[in-house]
């Protein structure tokens, strides 16, 4: 490991690696390792800070039911495209289009739409599916009653 750059902190029981770049240019963050399935790592684009994207209740407070209008998801323009300079077709959402209806799911760079926070769209998608499932159950119950008449 002589060809690696290591940023470490010492104290207590010795030192622990915080950040390492090996000779191939791969970055490692041993202090963020988990013991199994993994955790998403988030980069705060405005500060450059790296942190774990935690979901456990032990990291949260003021937990309440979602009160957003998830029906806006039905207005999202989904498309296929290729990136400039590539022939590979991809599918996704255009940040500028999403900004008009759900700006909280847009990442900004230099105050302009830059990316879509796809990972954060999961929650309102689940919420919308739950609402639709509830509506479908109510409609099925009404149909059943009407069919009995």
Got the DSSP string for 101-134? H-GGGEEEETTEEEEE-GGGGHHHHHHHHHHHHH
With contact defined as beta carbons under 8 Å apart, do 113 and 100 qualify? no
pLDDT of residue 14: 45
Tens-digit pLDDT string for the chain (149 aa): 556 555 555 554 444 556 777 788 777 777 666 666 667 777 777 787 777 777 889 888 999 888 777 888 999 999 999 999 999 999 999 999 999 999 999 999 889 999 999 988 999 999 999 999 999 999 999 999 999 87
pLDDT of residue 2: 54
The kind and range of the H/E element at 146 are: helix 122-148
- What are residue 81's DSSP bridge partners? 90
pTM of the model: 0.65
- Nearby residues of 125 by Cβ (< 8 Å), 6 or more positions away: 70, 73
pLDDT of residue 146: 94
Task: Give the C-alpha distances (Å, rounded to integers) separating 12 from 9, 15, 17, 54, 88.
Answer: 10, 8, 14, 27, 51
pLDDT of residue 100: 95
pLDDT of residue 33: 67
How far apart are the C-alpha atoms of 98 and 106, rounded to whole Å?
A: 7
Write out the two tokens for 108: 């900004």
- What are residue 9's DSSP bridge partners? 16
Three-state DSSP class for 85?
A: coil
């Amino acid at each position: 490991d002589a060809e690696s750059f290591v940023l470490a902190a010492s104290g207590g029981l010795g030192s622990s690696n915080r950040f390492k770049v090996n000779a191939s240019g791969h970055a490692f963050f041993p202090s963020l390792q988990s013991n199994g399935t993994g955790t998403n790592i988030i980069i705060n684009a405005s500060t450059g800070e790296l942190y774990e994207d935690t979901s456990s209740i032990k990291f949260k407070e003021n937990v309440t039911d979602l009160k957003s209008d998830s029906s806006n998801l039905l207005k999202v323009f989904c498309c296929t495209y290729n990136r400039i300079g590539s022939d590979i077709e991809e599918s996704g959402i255009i940040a500028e289009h999403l900004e008009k209806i759900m700006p909280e799911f847009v990442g900004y760079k230099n105050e302009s739409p830059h990316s879509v926070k796809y990972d954060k769209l999961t929650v309102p998608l689940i919420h919308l599916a739950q609402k639709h499932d509830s509506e479908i159950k109510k409609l099925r119950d009404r149909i059943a009653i009407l069919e009995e008449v």
